[in-house]
Amino acid sequence: MTIVAVRAIDRAGRRKLMLVSLAVMTVTMALLGLAFAADWSSGLSLVCMVLYIAGYAAGLGPVFWTMIGEIFPTRAHAAGSSASTTVNWASNFVVSLAFLPIAKAIGQGPTFWIFAVISLAGLVFVLRYVPETKNREYADIDRDLQRRFGRRPAEPAATG
C-alpha cells in the first residue's frame, strides 16, 4: 500500500490521501472495537486490522513524510522537520507503551474505540487546518496555513 501511496501522492494530492486514510482508520478502529466488545468472529477482526493497516500505509503514513518537507520555510526546514519527526516517533512510542495497559484495564473493544476517537480527531484536524501542498509554492502554502489558523498572512517583501 505504501507503493500505491507513493504513486498516488502526486496524482490525488496529499490532503485527499490523508482524509481518506484517516476516515478508513477511524471506521476500522470503531468496527474493530465493536468486534471485540461484541465478541464477534475473529475473521471480522482480521479484516478490520488489515484494512486499518492498508488505510494507514496508503495515506497518513507516507504523506506525513512528504508534507514535512513542504510546509516549513527554508530557514526553519531543519528545525521543523526535526520537531515533526520527533513528535511522530514519540507518539508511536506512547501508543506502543499505552496500548496493552489500557486494553488490560478497560478491554480491547473500548481501547480500539479510544483510538478511533483519536483518528477522528486527526480527521477533523486535517479538515480544518491542513492545506493541500501538491504543486504549490511555499508562499501559497504559508498563506493558506495562516488563514486556516486565523492569522493574517504576511505581506510579500517589497522588491526594488
pLDDT digits (tens, 9 = 90+) for 109-158: 999 999 999 999 999 999 999 999 999 998 898 898 888 888 876 666 55
* Percent of the chain predicted with pLDDT > 90: 68
Angle in degrees, CA 27, 31, 32, rounded to 5: 115
Rounded Cα distance, 132 and 98, in Å: 32
CA distance 77 to 71: 8
Full set of structural domains in the chain with CATH:
2-23+35-81+103-148 (1.20.1250.20)
Stated pTM of the model: 0.86
The packing angle between helices 2-12 and 14-37, to 10°, is 140
pLDDT-based confidence at residue 83 (cuts at 50, 70, 90): very high
Amino acid at 27: V
The three three-digit cell numbers of residue 30, written as one number: 470503531
